[in-house]
Amino acid sequence: MTDVSNQQLQHQTVLLEEAVHALVWRADGIYVDGTFGRGGHSRAVLGKLGDGARLVGFDKDPQAIATAQAIGDARFEIVHDSFATLSDALAERGIQKVSGVLLDLGVSSPQFDDPARGFSFRHDGPLDMRMDTTRGESAADWLARATQQELTEVIRDYGEERFAFQIAKAIVARRSASDRLGPLTRTRELAEIVAHAVKTREKGKDPATRTFQAIRIFINQELADLQVALEAALASLEQGGRLVVISFHSLEDRIVKRFMQSQASVPPLDRRLPLRASELPVPPLKLLGRVMPSETEIAANPRARSAVMRVAERVAP
């Protein structure tokens, strides 16, 4: 049980008005909120929809599911699963096409600020880091079994940490002392191990930032799920449908940017081919732009600083 107050665990939805404005282009459509969180985007979307519309939300977090189930709106349904299951979930509900898909990536403030979830090095808590606490392997379980090479690769690739080898070596060394010290199960101890292994760090950034990010991404398979979800979203969008994605770090944004750009262009054609204009291939997506938080929003919510929203429209079947 945690003594963190409800006020501390409030979530400020980033780019709320901008995302909903970009997403909802027809009031009678079917929409997907791939990351319900605490429902900021979903509630705003429902406020824009007519009586015959539908909104399907997804989330892995049981606490988010509990919040979603309290929404008394017949147009809304929540799915307790990753947005990577979008295709199957829509098919199970008889939905062939949707008017828009919104993905707000990363960790919500309630998840990050609750020590019991283990996402943050700023609070001491169990090394869990699972977005869905009802299934899967915790960070502590993985740290107890991963090889030094696996630790190095995860911390390097998902955290872009140049001291990944040194950190992995220190974690393995700590593990060898488990008979005397007990297993590594607390966030604060992991943060201290990383701090001792990292030689230098950017001013104002905690040494553990990249390592905690890397382990969280790996435990929840965030990047793999994102790639699957982007493909599923594209396949499910009707003509004119919108894909709106908000990311908070470079690895996510790079995947989103490359996916949208690849789907908004066609391979070069052989100029010798006798093709009419009507026969030229049309890319499935049109890029509608990139949106960053305003200085006013960043001042009110510093966690919005790293957010990037990318928007694309389905233009061809």
- Helix orientation angle between 164-175 and 148-159, rounded to the nearest 10 degrees: 140
Residue 108 corresponds to which tokens in the numbers above?
Answer: 């919500």
Which residues lie closer than 8 Å to 155 by C-beta, 6 or more apart?
161, 164, 167, 168, 210, 211, 214, 215
Q: Could you write out the DSSP letters of every residue in 131-164?
A: SSTTSS--HHHHHHH--HHHHHHHHHHHH--TTH
41 is in an annotated binding site: yes
289 is in an annotated binding site: no
H/E stretch holding 289 reads strand 285-291
How many C-alpha atoms does 121 have within 13 Å on its Cβ side? 19
Sheet architecture: strand order including 308-314: 76-80, 54-59, 30-33, 98-104, 237-247, 308-314, 285-291
Task: Read off the amino acid at residue 117.
Answer: R
Residue 102's DSSP bridge partners are 33, 244
Is residue 56 classed as helix, strand or coil in its secondary structure? strand
59 is in an annotated binding site: yes
Residues belonging to the binding site are: 39-41, 59, 83, 104, 111
Residues belonging to the binding site for S-adenosyl-L-methionine are: 39-41, 59, 83, 104, 111
